[in-house]
Amino acid sequence: MPVTDDSVATLRALLAGESAEYERLYGNLDAAARRTGYPAMIDAAFFEAVDRRFGKGKASDVVEFVGDVRSKSLTLEEQIDPRIAERLIQAVLGDGSIDDIDDKARFSTEVILLAVLIADEQLDSTGLDEFLDGARKLADRWTS
Amino acid sequence: MGADRVSDGTDTNAETVEEQPDRRPPPPPDKPGTDGYPSRADSRNGAMAANDASSQKAENQTEDNPETSQRSQEPVGERDSTSTEQPETPRRPESNEASGTDGGNTDGRRTAGSEVGTGGASELEQRPEEIGDVGGQKQALDGQVTPQDKAGSAEAGEQPADKRTGEAPSTDIGELTLADTSSVRHTVDIADRTSVGTDDPVPVSKANETPRESLDDHRDGVTDEASETGRPPVAAPESILPAGGSEDQQRIEAAPRSDTRRGEDTAHPADVETKSGQDEQPRPDGPTTGHLEEMSEVAESSEDTVAARSDKETSVERPEDPGGEVASEVESAQQAEGNSAQSKHRTYEFNVGSTPIRVRIDPVGAAVADKTIPAKDTEPEPAGDRMANAEDGKRSREDRFRKKAYEISDDTADIVGEAGKTVHDFLAERPPTGHSMTRSSPELSSAPHEGINVGDTASGIVAAGILVGELGYRAYRGVRRRRENNNAGD
């Protein structure tokens, strides 16, 4: 099933910090999009964001990044498992496997890390749209 | 060297004779003095007469070709190995009976090898009567190379030539190995490359050189007086042999020159027979070239077995055998010899299970190292600092990272939605980024205005009180001094 525009818009509202819009759009997603298209869009966007950030970096940067994210607030420290976060990033870089990570931990961690990565890039509206376009193509390839 | 070949009645070659199952029965024993048999004196006289005739021929031949006689005086080891170039040594008639019973040597073999070692002292026993009595049988037995045939060949008219040529190869080849194989090896086999025996003292390089000259000589059929190598000229067989020399005579002249080295190659007698055919018909250039090439291969390859070489030789020389019988006999003999040689050089490979013992014991040593030079230095980077190749392996990383099927449960979808709210909370806590302002002109700062301090005020009050008290005291003293002065003035 291809990724719908609603799924892309919902993710865009999330990454832009539009809380009310995000809750509205997410509430309007149909069940199929919430169970298939939106997770695929999150996965693809996370892959692209990590590849941008750590594609030419070192493995030590991953550990440092995860530590910085968890140190921002107590809520993030509680919700992010550092080992899962590091394994997800390393998996994007080609190291290790994440098959043993359940979907709840995987997608919840990816959503948080993705929001931090995009916030750190300080993308404007156009940059955010371009980023989401690339992620959508990747998600469409994965789900097709 | 050749003295051990003198027949002492025990006949050390008897084992070889017994190994030949198809061997014909030996001639009747020599019984001197018995009725119906010639006496010992008759035997000596007959042998002496036969040897005198042959010695006379040899002397005539030596006079005709003095260089070959000079070569015959050289030591055996230095003598070049060409059968046709060595003159026949005069033989001194001597009966084998003097050294023992002749019954053990009834197979017709003679100890011709001792002649070379003892400077030409012949140990031959020639009994014309016996030769005549035994007739075709002895001729068949000895017709190959044995010196005794010399007497028989002197009476060449007794046997037709076709019979000799037909039976000579059919005789047991094992006989020739007793004393005459070494000479054959030096004379013919070196040229034909067949003999690279384990005890062959001839260096391989020499063996490579010799046949070329020998073959050239044989092709020309004449003596090459101006040899480049400085070797004594090689006389063609026709030039050495008397005018009426037959094939048997050629064989007889080849046989006594043997050193007593016992050759391992029983195929050499066949070479002699083949060479006699070569002398009559020079070998074409094609096969000769092939011989030389094969010989060089044998010299280079130490792993070739004698059997393999014999097979090659047989395959090459077989077309030269007109009757085909020689080839079959030679082939069988060479096969037997090849089997013995193969058993001698046979290598065994022991396996432990299905792997060789070498691999089992020393797998590292048995393994063939990869000696290829890599195209570039492929030193791996440290795992912690390994850089991810984003462009090359991105597609593969995508395939590894993606889920097989994106189908999450409703509970998971709800958790993902809650994670979005957490993100918004995090983003709301973040301070506003704001913007920076810059002035176009420098800013003048005013002097700081500090308030009245209590302590400082108290200190000021105390200081002022002290000053006021001092001034009052001084004023009082001044007024009092003036009054006193006024009072004193009053």
Say whether A111 and B419 touch across the interface (CB within 8 A).
yes
- The string of pLDDT tens digits covering residues B304-357 is 444 444 444 444 444 444 445 555 555 666 666 656 555 556 777 778 778 778
Average pLDDT, chain A: 90
What is the pLDDT, as a whole number, of residue A87? Answer: 93
pLDDT of residue B75: 46
| Three-point CA angle B196, B200, B202, nearest 5° | 90
Other Cβ atoms within 10 Å of B225 Cβ, number:
10
- Closest Cα of chain A to B419: distance in Å? 5
Asked if pLDDT for residue B432 goes beyond 70, the answer is: no
Q: What is the dihedral of CA B435, B441, B442, B444, to 10 degrees?
A: -100
Q: Which of A34, A35, A47 sits opposite B401 (nearest CB)?
A: A47
Confidence of residue B117 (pLDDT cuts 50, 70, 90): very low
pLDDT of amino acid B290: 42
Could you say which of A35, A56, A138 has the minimum Cβ distance to residue B413? A35
- With CB atoms and an 8 Å threshold, state whether B416 touches A56: no
**The tokens of B119 are what?**
């400077």
Torsion of CA B317, B318, B320, B326, to 10 degrees: 110
How much of chain B, in percent, has pLDDT values that exceed 90? Answer: 6
Confidence of residue B444 (pLDDT cuts 50, 70, 90): confident
Q: Which residue has the higher pLDDT, B351 or A83?
A: A83
Q: Give chain B's mean pLDDT.
A: 57
Residue whose pair of structure tokens reads 């026709």 in the numeric block: B238
pLDDT band, residue A133 (cuts 50/70/90): very high
Question: Which spans in B118-236 are helix H?
Answer: 128-134, 136-142, 148-154, 161-167, 176-179, 181-184, 190-192, 204-220
- Among B390, B402, B408, beta carbon nearest to A55: B390
**Beta-bridge mates of residue B355:** B352
Q: Does B419 touch chain A (CB under 8 A)?
A: yes
| Lookup result for tokens 């005198």 | B52
Using a CB-CB cut-off of 8 Å, the residues of chain A touching B408 are 35-36, 39, 103, 107
Residue B361 touches partner A, C-beta closer than 8 Å: no
What three-state secondary structure class fits B351? strand
Model confidence pLDDT, tens digit, residues A5-21: 999 999 999 999 888 99
ipTM associated with this complex: 0.86
Asked if B403 lies within 8 A of A43 by C-beta distance, the reply is yes
pLDDT of residue B406: 82
Band of pLDDT at residue A112, cut at 50, 70 and 90: very high
Q: What pLDDT digit, counting tens, does each position of B127-186 carry?
A: 444 444 444 444 444 444 444 444 444 444 444 444 444 444 444 444 444 444 444 444
Query: In the block, which residue shows the tokens 């404007």?
Result: A124
